[in-house]
Amino acid sequence: MDPKGIRLSCALAVGGLDPGGGAGLAADLRAFAFAGVFGCAAAAVITIQSTAGLKSAKAVSPRDLEAQVAEVLRHQRVGAVKVGALGNEANVRAVVRSLARHPRVPVIVDTPMLPTRGRARLLSPRAVAVLKAELLARATLLTVNLAEAEVLVGERVRSVSEAHDAAAALVDLGARAVLVKGGHLGGPVATDVLALGGKFFELRARRLALPPVHGTGCALASLVAGRVARRTGADLDDRALVAAVRWAKRVHHAALANAVDVGRGMRVLVF
């Protein structure tokens, strides 16, 4: 086949640069490639970390972040944007401004606030309020773990029933759809709750007995974004969004079951 004839849709990740490669932009790009789209990346946070944990995180300037995002969206065929770690409130607003110029592009918002290991923050407390007030309304899909859901809704989320309530509350805050991940709940089955279009979907998977794995949230959101990005130019209806989430969950669960050891500390996902 003549490679000059190949056309790919792009997915753009906006988030943190993890030099260890397990999480952040590196994980996003692996997920995009598996989903069959060309991966682009704009760095919002520069970190010092590895699979052993996060040592420090520094937000880039909002001006530089906005310029990165604008350049890619202006010239490349971006079918979806995945938003991850943004660092501070100025960068949240920079992303909101950038996305406002491209209202038809679907946006998958992940909300990393604290790392699995380490004390540095990936989203400042002040930035959480800005995210709620300004970014959620732009989210085609918001993905949150239980701790993140609790921060955003201000209520305890410790059961599948409470995950339903949290998902509904976050939809009320403006997100089109919300996925509350149930990986930290107990029991032999892990249940995620997806709220969309006034309906709830429970996505169940056998719970895996695993050592700590790095970058799982980044990868799941990016698998969804990559799948959505393949539909460049087509309207994303509710059925297609649910299908993208279900596909991403299947791929993610298989990758978790085969997480690899690349050195000291946590395992990582490969696809």
Is residue 142 within 8 Å of 111, Cβ to Cβ?
yes
pLDDT given for residue 185 in this prediction: 86
Q: Does 121 score more than 80 pLDDT?
A: yes
Each residue's pLDDT tens digit, 66-94 = 999 999 999 999 999 999 999 999 999 99
Each residue's pLDDT tens digit, 165-221 = 999 999 999 999 999 999 878 789 999 999 999 999 999 999 999 899 999 999 999
Please state the three-class secondary structure of 145-201 as a single string.
Answer: CHHHHHHHHCCCCCCHHHHHHHHHHHHHCCCCEEEECCCCCCCCEEEEEEEECCEEE
Q: Does 5 score more than 80 pLDDT?
A: no
Q: Does domain 8-268 have CATH number 3.40.1190.20?
A: yes
Would you list the domain boundaries of the chain? 8-268
Q: 264: how many CB neighbours lie within 10 A of its CB?
A: 9
Each residue's pLDDT tens digit, 136-151 = 999 999 999 999 999 9
Residue 200 pairs with which residues in a beta bridge? 195
pTM: 0.95
- Cα dihedral sign, 62-63-67-68: negative
Q: Does 1 score more than 70 pLDDT?
A: no
Q: Does 120 score more than 70 pLDDT?
A: yes
Task: State the virtual CA torsion across 65, 241, 161, 168 in degrees, nearest 10.
Answer: 60
pLDDT given for residue 187 in this prediction: 84
Per-residue confidence at 2, pLDDT binned at 50, 70, 90?
A: low
